[in-house]
């Protein structure tokens, strides 16, 4: 595991350097979905502290077994009926893709006194099978999203279409960065986080401005 972590970190560093950035600007989120609490424990002994899960029930059971010093992000698609359980478990929600979902999250966050960070998922490629705001719908929703009292909108997230060749993801990543830049200007808000890049394409994502890469299989091996 230590070798895998070191290898990822040096690839992150090389990608950052190549694009005139420093690796310190980029957060490594270790995606532990479908891997055991024990695997997370081991990763944490090697210095990883931030983990990503995509199913609420699985995460709840895992988190209960692990030290409270670890940090957790939700990277899946959050169902309405899971919001109440999920809110106290995670510091940040990456997959917020509808105004109605954000409103429901905010209502429960107000009730429970929580102030989670959210990242707005964008469907850049426009594939109908994908979750995420279409860019023009996000523009139309932005003011309402920013007005939700207990949600802190911290940036954008996307998933590139699956491909063997990471270069095919590059235009998706650069489009997310450009959308972020233009929303920051238009709404005069900082949107510092760009959550983009996974095991197969995180280097290209870093070259295109990613500040948070979500790496699963390259750290933990395959999922069954
Ligand atoms: C599973 C998952 C990842 C990690 O994928 P790998 O290819 O294993 O690195 C990243 N982001 C999201 C949203 C995921 O669901």
* pLDDT 10s digits, 131-145: 999 999 999 999 999
Distance 111 CA to ligand 1 centre (A): 31
Asked if 177 and 194 touch (Cβ cutoff 8 Å), the reply is yes
The C-alpha atoms of residue 224 and residue 211 are separated, in whole angstroms, by 29
Distance 199 CA to ligand 1 centre (A): 7
Overall pTM > 0.95:
yes
- State mean pLDDT over 196-216: 98
Long-range CB contacts for residues 132-136, cutoff 8 Å, separation at least 24? 132/97, 132/158, 132/159, 133/97, 133/98, 135/175, 135/179
* pLDDT 10s digits, 31-63: 999 999 999 999 999 999 999 999 999 999 999
- Ligand 1 site, CB within 6 A: 31, 33, 54, 75, 159, 198-200, 214-218
Mutate to test the pocket of ligand 1, among 12, 92, 214 (most ligand atoms within 8 A of CB): 214
Phi, psi of 82 (to 5 degrees): -105, 0
- The alpha helices in the chain, defined as continuous H runs, are 2-18, 37-45, 56-64, 83-86, 99-112, 135-146, 170-187, 202-207, 217-220
**pLDDT value at residue 136:** 96
């Amino acid at each position: 595991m230590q070798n895998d972590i070191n290898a990822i970190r040096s690839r992150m560093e090389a990608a950052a350097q190549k694009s005139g950035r420093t690796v310190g600007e980029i957060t490594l989120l270790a995606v532990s979905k479908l891997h055991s609490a024990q695997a997370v424990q081991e990763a944490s002994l090697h210095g990883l502290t931030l983990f990503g899960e995509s199913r609420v029930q699985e995460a709840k059971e895992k988190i209960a077994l692990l030290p409270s010093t670890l940090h957790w992000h939700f990277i899946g698609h959050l169902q309405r009926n899971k919001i109440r359980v999920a809110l106290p478990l995670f510091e940040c929600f990456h997959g917020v893709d509808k105004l109605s979902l954000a409103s429901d999250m905010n209502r429960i966050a107000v009730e429970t006194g929580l102030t989670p960070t959210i990242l707005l998922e964008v469907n850049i490629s426009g594939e109908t099978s994908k979750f995420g705001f279409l860019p023009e719908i996000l523009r139309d929703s932005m003011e309402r999203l920013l007005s939700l009292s207990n949600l802190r909108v911290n940036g954008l997230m996307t998933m590139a279409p699956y491909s063997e060749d990471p270069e095919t993801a590059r235009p998706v990543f650069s489009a997310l960065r450009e959308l972020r830049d233009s929303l920051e200007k238009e709404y005069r808000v900082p949107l510092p986080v760009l959550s983009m890049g996974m095991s197969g394409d995180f280097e290209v994502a870093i070259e295109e401005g990613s500040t948070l890469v979500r790496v699963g299989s390259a750290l933990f091996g395959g999922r069954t």
